[in-house]
A and B are shown apart, each in its own frame.
Chain A
Amino acid sequence: MERVNAGADTSFWRGFGRAVGEVYEYRELLLNLVRKELKTRYKDSFLGFLWSLLRPMFLLAVYYIAIGKFLGVPFPLFPIFLFCGLVAWTLFTDVLGGCTGTVVSNAGLVKKVYFPRELLPLSVVGAALVNFAMQLLVLVAAVLVFGGELHGQQPWLLPLALLALLPFMTACGLFLAAANVSFRDVGHLIEIVLLLWFWTTPIVYGVGGVLNRMHNAGLDWMAKLYLANPMANVVIGFQQAVYGDYNDGTTQQTFQGPIALRLVVLTAGSLVLLWLAQRFFSRAQGNFAQEL
């Protein structure tokens, strides 16, 4: 005989493995949920799937004109620099934004059918990854066209950064999905937090300039704090991999430190975070059906 709902009351240490096993058992449903997520998002719209590309492209145009032209940032190939950061950031916000509401919006299912609840945030992650892949294709196309002028010499940093981002965003997603069930404020709060987070991440400006200014002002601790932002490291990884380092004294785009090592540490840290987030999720999920 099998204990029902054992995820919640097995020990803190073994529950995670059990949950992973269960998600694997339900992998087919996960795939179907991802498919549903993608199919329904742009159903009945004329441009359909193209919308997932149009949004970052539009953002790109806005930042390019506002920051590249109006403020006159002297980056060579500034759109590509921007796009590197935006690709990673879009993935991150898609996951966080999507996960926050996923349990609540699937209340009908959660209240009526048993399946590992982790599948809901995971299906958001899956759908976001598909969109990410599309945008990555655009980035690859850009590299093929402008490849000669780009200075990206460590392309393997991109998969490494993605590897760090995956557990990090999944952990955030699990946490937010569960928290939003009992505190609906989370959905509103996360919008503000993401806005702040966007500007404290070197996406539309170069990290080098920021660090230099902090150093010159004698605020080295602040620079450390700034670099402790996981998303800053991920974005820097993306930028280093594709855009690279011009290092011509004027641009200040890039980070001079050991980004690969930082990403490895971040990956390890994120895995711990993911495990904690799953435990939190698992504790909370026993009450989902009654909270909704």
Chain B
Amino acid sequence: MAATIIRVNDVAKKFTINKDKSLKERLTGLGRSRQYRQEFWALKGVSFELEAAKTLGLIGANGSGKSTLLKVIGGILAPDEGWVERRGRLAALLELGAGFHGDLTGRENVYLNASILGLTRRQTDAYFDAIVDFSGIERFIDTQVKFYSSGMYVRLAFAVAVHVDPDILLVDEVLAVGDEPFQRKCMERIKQFQREGRTIVFVTHGLDQVRQLCDRVIMLESGEVVVDGTPVDALRAFRERYNVQAGQEPEHGDRRLEILKTIVTDGAGRPRDRFTPGDALGIEFEVVAHEPTDDWVAGVAINNHLDLLVYGTNTRLQGIELPPISGRRRVCYRFHAIPMVEGQYYVTVAVHPEVGPEYHRLDRAVSFKVFSEAADHGVLYLTPRIEVSE
């Protein structure tokens, strides 16, 4: 059993929103100041302990208090009730380049930022080459940072931050910066931190990151802990609570043709919304023509929770000439197997002419879920056979 490195004890944080900011307004409004003051609890009775070398993810909707909690752990905000205890050096990546000053050169900013994060000058000297190397902007290191592109700025800032030698690393949604190779570099660095046995607490909306990195996930809602458990439990709870209800998106198109009654079926016409990888699946909908139309195409698309297109096609792409439509038609797409990993998926359906604006489109008209036994990441459910030989 590893030692506890962070202990959060019944922490509560109250925010007071003062609608009047100036002295005059406060003095003239002394008697009725109550009504100009709004209080709400950003955190209520949050308690947990985190062992060393674990990675904790904080998830929740916007405004659920996760960033506030991170700031309380980091000592940036003082809690109104309860307390936080921790051990060891802490580095907080709450915002990259927060301490950068535009008029200073990259080199000067590296030293300044490193000392803000707690490095001594000698340590910074030792890491300097590695920092510049990691950032990949050697050529501009003696240029004032106000001339940097935003990408360069962020790279340098991240490079400084990851070279600080922390026992605890707090990360607030900063992993989604820079171009793709740089992001990968950042991810690798975080994983290296994990291998080195450092403790990481991070806030994220990227549920994939949670799956990939976390040992434990805490989900907050209105400042209270609602789930505290493994990533799989927490993600399931998260999806159930916060997924956009299917069928509530605005509709598009002039509705010369209109789509009615979209359903997901088991492929044999029976409605169904839970599947396991490899099950058959059908998407069925009715098209009503308000005036007879010669030129029409019916399409479907399946997106995952990150809005990544998993699959999309239409009748024209499939080489099917649809006869002219008048009255009602029923369209059925049948997939004999869906090799997709666990998660929630959304179905978008549309009817449109060969060229030109669509007649009718329903984004996320219906949804379905896939559950699997094994834990997988990504999109495709591939079933490897794993052999390890000498």
List residues of chain A with CB under 8 Å of any chain B CB.
1-5, 8-9, 28-29, 32-33, 35-36, 39-40, 43-44, 108-115, 183-186, 189, 285-287, 289-290
Closest 5 CB pairs of A and B: A286-B78, A112-B98, A1-B85, A185-B23, A114-B75
* 5 A-B pairs (CB sep. < 8 Å): A39-B103, A43-B104, A108-B99, A112-B94, A290-B77
Q: Which of B4, B15, B116 contacts A290 (CB 8 A)?
A: B15
Q: How far does the alpha carbon of A189 sit from the alpha carbon of B99 in the complex, in Å?
A: 29
A181 to chain B, nearest CB (A): 11
Cross-chain contact A289 with B115 (CB below 8 angstroms)? no
Cross-chain contact B86 with A4 (CB below 8 angstroms)? yes
Q: How far does the alpha carbon of A111 sit from the alpha carbon of B99 in the complex, in Å?
A: 11
Q: How far does the alpha carbon of A287 sit from the alpha carbon of B79 in the complex, in Å?
A: 9
* Interface secondary structure of A, over-half rule: helix
B18 to chain A, nearest CB (A): 8
Q: How far does the alpha carbon of A289 sit from the alpha carbon of B94 in the complex, in Å?
A: 13
Q: Which of A3, A39, A110 contacts B84 (CB 8 A)?
A: A3
Q: How far does the alpha carbon of A22 sit from the alpha carbon of B118 in the complex, in Å?
A: 12
* Interface secondary structure of B, over-half rule: mixed
CB of B101 within 8 Å of the partner chain: yes
Contacts of B99 in A (CB 8 A): 108-109, 113
CB of B21 within 8 Å of the partner chain: yes
List residues of chain B with CB under 8 Å of any chain A CB.
4, 7, 15, 21-24, 26, 71-79, 83-87, 90, 92, 94-95, 98-99, 101, 103-104, 108, 111-112, 115-118, 120-121
Contacts of B7 in A (CB 8 A): 1
Q: How far does the alpha carbon of A9 sit from the alpha carbon of B84 in the complex, in Å?
A: 12
Cross-chain contact A40 with B104 (CB below 8 angstroms)? yes
Contacts of B74 in A (CB 8 A): 4, 114
Cross-chain contact A109 with B116 (CB below 8 angstroms)? yes
A28 to chain B, nearest CB (A): 5
Known: A28-B121, A40-B103, A290-B77. A114 touches B90 (CB 8 A): yes
Cross-chain contact B98 with A113 (CB below 8 angstroms)? yes
Cross-chain contact A39 with B86 (CB below 8 angstroms)? no
Cross-chain contact A44 with B115 (CB below 8 angstroms)? no
Q: How far does the alpha carbon of A289 sit from the alpha carbon of B101 in the complex, in Å?
A: 19
Cross-chain contact A289 with B22 (CB below 8 angstroms)? no
Cross-chain contact B120 with A3 (CB below 8 angstroms)? no
A40-B101, A115-B116 given. 18 additional CB < 8 A pairs? A1-B7, A2-B85, A3-B85, A4-B72, A28-B121, A29-B116, A36-B104, A36-B108, A39-B108, A108-B99, A112-B76, A112-B98, A113-B116, A114-B90, A183-B22, A189-B23, A287-B77, A290-B15
Q: How far does the alpha carbon of A289 sit from the alpha carbon of B84 in the complex, in Å?
A: 17
Cross-chain contact A5 with B95 (CB below 8 angstroms)? no
Contacts of B76 in A (CB 8 A): 110-114, 289
Q: How far does the alpha carbon of A1 sit from the alpha carbon of B21 in the complex, in Å?
A: 38
Cross-chain contact B112 with A4 (CB below 8 angstroms)? no
Cross-chain contact B117 with A113 (CB below 8 angstroms)? yes
Cross-chain contact B112 with A36 (CB below 8 angstroms)? yes
Q: Which of A5, A40, A44, A287 contacts B75 (CB 8 A)?
A: A5
Q: How far does the alpha carbon of A2 sit from the alpha carbon of B118 in the complex, in Å?
A: 17
B114 to chain A, nearest CB (A): 9
Q: How far does the alpha carbon of A189 sit from the alpha carbon of B76 in the complex, in Å?
A: 28
Contacts of B84 in A (CB 8 A): 3-5
Q: How far does the alpha carbon of A44 sit from the alpha carbon of B146 in the complex, in Å?
A: 13
Known: A28-B120, A286-B78, A290-B77. A112 touches B4 (CB 8 A): no
Q: How far does the alpha carbon of A273 sit from the alpha carbon of B74 in the complex, in Å?
A: 30
Q: How far does the alpha carbon of A52 sit from the alpha carbon of B111 in the complex, in Å?
A: 25
Q: How far does the alpha carbon of A8 sit from the alpha carbon of B84 in the complex, in Å?
A: 13
Max count, chain A CB within 10 A of own CB: residue among B23, B26, B86: B23
Q: Which of B78, B85, B117 contacts A8 (CB 8 A)?
A: B78
B177 to chain A, nearest CB (A): 15
Q: How far does the alpha carbon of A286 sit from the alpha carbon of B74 in the complex, in Å?
A: 12
Q: Which of A4, A108, A183 contacts B98 (CB 8 A)?
A: A108
Contacts of B79 in A (CB 8 A): 5
B80 to chain A, nearest CB (A): 9
Contacts of B112 in A (CB 8 A): 32-33, 35-36
Q: How far does the alpha carbon of A103 sit from the alpha carbon of B23 in the complex, in Å?
A: 18
Q: How far does the alpha carbon of A43 sit from the alpha carbon of B95 in the complex, in Å?
A: 25
Contacts of B117 in A (CB 8 A): 113
Q: How far does the alpha carbon of A2 sit from the alpha carbon of B86 in the complex, in Å?
A: 5
Contacts of A5 in B (CB 8 A): 75, 78-79, 83-84
B115 to chain A, nearest CB (A): 4
Max count, chain B CB within 10 A of own CB: residue among A8, A28, A44, A185: A28
Contacts of A289 in B (CB 8 A): 71, 76-77
A237 to chain B, nearest CB (A): 34
Q: How far does the alpha carbon of A64 sit from the alpha carbon of B120 in the complex, in Å?
A: 47
Q: How far does the alpha carbon of A183 sit from the alpha carbon of B21 in the complex, in Å?
A: 6
Cross-chain contact A32 with B115 (CB below 8 angstroms)? yes
Contacts of B15 in A (CB 8 A): 290
Known: A3-B85, A4-B83, A28-B115. A108 touches B77 (CB 8 A): no
Known: A113-B76, A114-B74. A29 touches B83 (CB 8 A): no
Contacts of A112 in B (CB 8 A): 76, 92, 94-95, 98
Contacts of A44 in B (CB 8 A): 103
Contacts of A40 in B (CB 8 A): 101, 103-104
Known: A1-B85, A108-B95, A286-B77. A29 touches B115 (CB 8 A): yes
Cross-chain contact B101 with A3 (CB below 8 angstroms)? no
Cross-chain contact A32 with B71 (CB below 8 angstroms)? no
A39 to chain B, nearest CB (A): 6
